[in-house]
Amino acid sequence: MDTALIILAIAVVAAAAIVALRRRAPDPRLDDVIRGQGSITGQFQQTLDAQARLQTMLAERIEALDKRLGETLSASATQTAATISSIGERLTVIDAAQKNIAALSDRVVSLQEILSDKQARGAFGQDRMEDIVRDQLPPELYDFQATLSNDTRPDCVIRIPGMAAAIVIDAKFPLEAFEALRLAPGEAERKQAQAQLRADMQKHIGDIARKYLIPGEVQTPALMFVPSESIYAELHAGFPELMQRARRAQVVIVSPHILWLAVNTIRTLMRDAKMREQASAIQKEVGLLLKDVKLLESRVGDLRKHFEKTSEDIAEIEKPMGRIAQRAGRIEAVELSAPEAEKPLLPGAS
């Protein structure tokens, strides 16, 4: 813009100088210079106009660029806010998960403490067994810590209706030898733990058979509850002779899933027995109902005969009534003559 002003000033000065020279002495060449100067002025004006249009276009583009930049910044700010909010929500979820993990860790530590304590471990196995039995059977069919006739107290007694003998469940499983076997660092320690496990299992099987299998009072076999599926699988895989010894002693070792299946089977059998009882009662009631239906049919027949006899009597009654109605009609149609007193006197009559 400064350069254009300088050029314009130079053109004005040159035009003034040419005009002054023309006044002093007319010269044809001055006319050519003046015409050239006019052409330069026109070109210069066109240049100024083009520069103005360029400035206007640049201003519009800058304004459009500012608008797009503002919109972009606004959208970016909105997306950033949404992203920050989402990150906050995820951090909240992560924090809750960490709290749950911490709580679960506490529970794992508590479970380890339970399994390390013999009395607490027995209570843990007792609780699992009670949960399975309580979930499948009505309360009147089982008792926990019930006393038998020999003053022994099994962990659970299941009584089946219609049977004098009950089913006994023992949940005091010896776990120390299994822990020793699991933590054995070498082959010698492993063999020692296996020998200890066999001895503990044989003693416990013998105790169950000796204390609980009372003839006429307890059904055979008794159930030994193992509170872990992995221990039950280890017994089957590594100690098959213990399983056979238990069966010979009329003791069956059951895991949580097998106990659930056994108790569910007992419930199904009792339900079928009740259904058979109900079916007998229903059959008896159906017989009585059939007898009542036959009696009702007989009485309906008698009532039908009575109605038929009544209909016949009504028909016999309707016959004379019809005749009476006909005769009354004929009587009503007869024209009676006038009385003698009302007849007119004949001439000559006294």
Indicate whether 204 belongs to any domain: yes
25 lies in the same domain as 160: no
Sheet holding 142-144, edge to edge: 142-144, 156-159, 166-170, 222-225, 251-254
264 found inside a domain: yes
Question: Which residue type, as a one-letter code, is found at position 91?
Answer: L
Residue 52 and residue 173 in one domain: no
Report the alpha-carbon distance of residue 233 to residue 32 in Å, rounded.
120
pLDDT in tens, 148-171: 888 888 888 888 877 778 889 988
Phi and psi for 63 in degrees, rounded to 5?
Answer: -65, -45
Please indicate, yes or no, whether residues 51 and 187 belong to a single structural domain of this protein.
no
Q: Which of 137, 157, 140, 141 is nearest to 149 (CA)?
A: 157
Amino acid at 252: V
How many structural domains does the chain have? Answer: 2
Strand partners, 167: 158
161, part of any domain: yes
129 and 247, same domain (yes or no): yes
> Which residue would you say has higher pLDDT here, 115 or 138?
138
The answer to whether residue 88 is domain-embedded is no
pLDDT tens profile 22-80: 555 455 565 665 666 667 767 767 777 777 787 788 878 888 877 887 788 777 778 87
Contacts of 232 (CB under 8 A, 6+ apart): 226, 253, 254, 255, 258
C-alpha span between 160 and 145 (Å, rounded): 17
The domain containing residue 246 runs over which residues?
Answer: 121-272
pLDDT of residue 12: 59
Please determine, for residue 108, whether its predicted confidence score (pLDDT) is greater than 50: no
